[in-house]
Amino acid sequence: MTAISARITKDWIAAASDSLLTEYYPDTNKIKHVEFKKSKIVPILKFKAAAAYWGLAKIDKWRTYDFLKSLAAKADGFESFEGFANNMKDELKQKLDSISFSNPNYKGIGIHLIGYEKIDNQNIPELFLICNYTDPTYSKVSELAISRNLFKTLPDDFRKNGDTLEGQRKQIIDFLNQGRTFIFNNGDPALFNPAANAIHNMFNVAMSRNVLMADYKKYMKLTSRPIEVIKNLQKDFFKKDFVRVGGKIHHLLITERGDFISDTGDNIF
């Protein structure tokens, strides 16, 4: 499993993840930690975007990270972010369908694809969720699906005039222009969300008091903080075979004008 987090504001979007990968050996019912450093975040220049994944990381010689990088390299061939997102879902489905899994649940995977859509010369953020998990426990999988996730997570008082995509985008912009933010966490919601929500609520209080520094690099690290909490909690208190979050924590921030900022190596293409 993986802990990943995404934060979307009026001026920037950010993604963060741990780097721990595990392999499961059913014959012995043991878990082995096999990776501690490599990023799970892939920048996509064309759409001022990034993809971060959780769940299936590799099988045989196929790796999710390499798959996402190969798609990112072909992004210039797509006119729209939506078209690129749908192609990612289709190619991933084709790949998963071609692999024989000893247990269907082993092909469980989720991808946060965050970026900007150019609409009437305005950059509007969006998060496409590509996922085949059926519920937040990640215990079962079904068909791979794709969905837009910003509008559906708006508070009820912002979910008006949402019958059209144009209306949904207007509500998203209105929400962000009020200084509000979208926050997404995946990996182990029952364990992850309490820590993430507490940290983000503290940040929102500080923002309302106008005491925060105007420093994108500081905010970029904020996206990593919930992951740091979960990583340290598991490292300090979990039995080793049950540690699922760990290793180097990566983060990447992308500004509305197209700057890719990272001090963990994730702005290198």
Q: Which pLDDT belongs to residue 189?
A: 77
User: Count of CB atoms within 10 A of residue 13's CB?
Assistant: 25
Does residue 1 surpass a pLDDT of 70?
Answer: no
Which residue in 28, 27, 22, 26 sits closest to 40, CA to CA? 22
What's the token pair of residue 178? 């009020």
Predicted pLDDT of residue 105: 86
The domain locations on the chain are 4-258
Q: CA-to-CA distance for 206 and 198, rounded, in angstroms? A: 13
In order, the DSSP letters of the chain are ---EEEEE-SSEEEEEE---EEEEETTTTEEEEEESS---EEEEGGGTEEEEEEE--EETTEEHHHHHHHHHTTGGG-SSHHHHHHHHHHHHHHHHHHS--SSGGGG-EEEEEEEEEEETTEEEEEEEEEEEESSTT---EEEEEEEE-TGGGS-GGG--S-SSHHHHHHHHHHHHHTT--EEEEES-HHHHHHHHHHHHHHHHHHHHTT-----HHHHHHHTTHHHHHHHHHHHHHS-GGG--S-S--EEEEEETT--EE-SSSTT--
Using one digit for the tens of pLDDT, what is the confidence trace for 190-236?
Answer: 788 888 888 888 887 887 888 888 777 777 888 899 899 999 999 99
State the pLDDT at residue 222: 86
pLDDT in tens, 56-99: 998 888 999 999 999 999 999 999 999 999 999 999 999 999 99
The side-by-side arrangement of strands in the sheet containing 250-255 is 182-186, 4-8, 12-17, 250-255, 260-261
Report, as an integer, the average pLDDT of 178-192: 84
pLDDT per position as a tens digit, 94-120? 999 999 888 888 899 999 999 999 888
Query: Environment class of residue 193 by beta-carbon count within 10 Å: exposed (0-12), middle (13-18) or buried (19+)?
Result: middle
Question: Tens digits of per-residue pLDDT, 12-22?
Answer: 999 999 999 88
From the options 3.90.79.10, 3.60.20.10, 1.10.600.10, 3.20.20.70, give the CATH code of 4-258. 3.60.20.10
